[in-house]
Amino acid sequence: MKKSELEQIFSSFNNKKVLIVGDAMIDAYMWGNIERMSPEAPVPVVDINKLESRLGGAANCALNVKSLGANPILCTVVGNDNNGVKFEELMKESSLSTEGMLVCSDRKTTVKTRVISEGKQQLRLDEEDKHPIIIEKQFLNNFKELLNNTDVIILQDYNKGVLTKKIISEVILIAKNKGIPTIVDPKNDNFLEYKGVDIFKPNLKEIKDGMKIEFDEKNDSELEKATSDLRKKLSAKGILLTLSERGICINSEEGFVHTPAYGGSVIDVSGAGDTVISVASLLLSEGVNFENISKISSLSGGIVCQKVGVVPINREELLTESIKIF
C-alpha cells in the first residue's frame, strides 16, 4: 500500500460510526505495599495507597475506536447499582455516548478489581452476574434505533450475559439485511453461534476450546486447517486468529496469511485484543483486503503491548508505523 493510500484510509476513520454490542465492565485497580503477614491467616496484608477505576471490556473497545478518530456507540447493560452509576460517569468523562446503555435491576454491574503490589497482581476480585439479560426485546429495540448510518458492528462477548443467542442472531441478521459488516470477539459459551459474520477473531485458547480440538500452533499448515474448519462451520468471510507472541493469522476467501508479531510483542494481553478488533473493524468498513487488515491489526497489538497498562491505540503512531511496513 502506498503512503497516500494509508493516509486516506486512516483519515476516513473520522467519518465512521461503530456500534459496539456486548459486555462492558469496570476495571478497578488497588495499588499498595506488602510489609507484613496477617495475624488472622497466612496471607499478606496490602496497605492500599492508590485506587483507580477504568472502562473495561466492550467499553475499552469503545475507547480504542474513539482514539482512532471514529464515533463509537456502546450497546450494553449495567446494573441498577452504585457501580452502574460509576460506569456512566466514566463513560461521560471519556466523552463516550451513553445512549446505548441500558440499566437492569436484576443484575450487578461487572467489576474486576485487581490488587497490585510489588509490581504484580496479588489478587483479583470479581463482582458480576453472568446469567442472560432479561431485557432482550428492549435491548434489540434500542439497538435498532441506534443503527442509522452505522458503518460496522463489533460484537464483543465476555460471557457476562448481554450477548444471548437471540441477540446474536438478530444483530447479525439485521446487519446482513442492511449491508453492515460485522466483526466478533468471541468467548466459549456462544462460540459457534456467530454464523455469517464478516470477521471472527478468537485467540488460541478460544479456538481450541470452542472447536474442541488440539493442534500445533507453530505449524502453519495446522493453523490453516483449524481456521479453515472454523470458517466453514461459521460461514464467516474471515477468521482472524491472534497467536500471542507469534502474531496473527487470517484465513479468508482470499487465502491464508500468517503475519508475525511486530517487535516480538505478545498481542493478546492487557487490552491488546480490544485494540486489534477496533483497528480491524475500521479497516473492514473501509474495504481493506484481509491480508492488510491482518498486518495493520497485528502492528496495532504490538504497539499497545509496548505501553504500560491498558492504553488505547494512538492513530498517528499507528499510521506512522504502518507506513514503515508497507
Would you say 260 and 244 are in contact if contact means Cβ atoms under 8 Å apart?
Answer: no
Q: Which three cell numbers stand for residue 155?
A: 460484537
Query: In whole angstroms, what is the distance from residue 261 CA to residue 277 CA?
Result: 15
Residue with cell 474486576: 112
Phi/psi for 28 (5° steps) reads -105, 145
Phi-psi region at 41: left, alpha or beta (left = phi > 0; alpha = psi -120 to 50): beta
Q: What pairs with residue 248 in β-bridges?
A: 242, 259
Q: Is 274 one of the annotated active-site residues of the chain? A: yes
End-to-end CA distance of the chain: 6
Distance in angstroms (rounded) separating the CA atoms of residues 299 and 267: 9
Q: What is the dihedral of CA 246, 248, 251, 257, to 10 degrees?
A: -70
The one catalytic residue in 27, 185, 198, 274 is 274
The CB-side HSE value for 319 (13 A sphere, CA atoms) comes to: 17
Cell of 273: 485484543
**Catalytic residue ranges:** 274
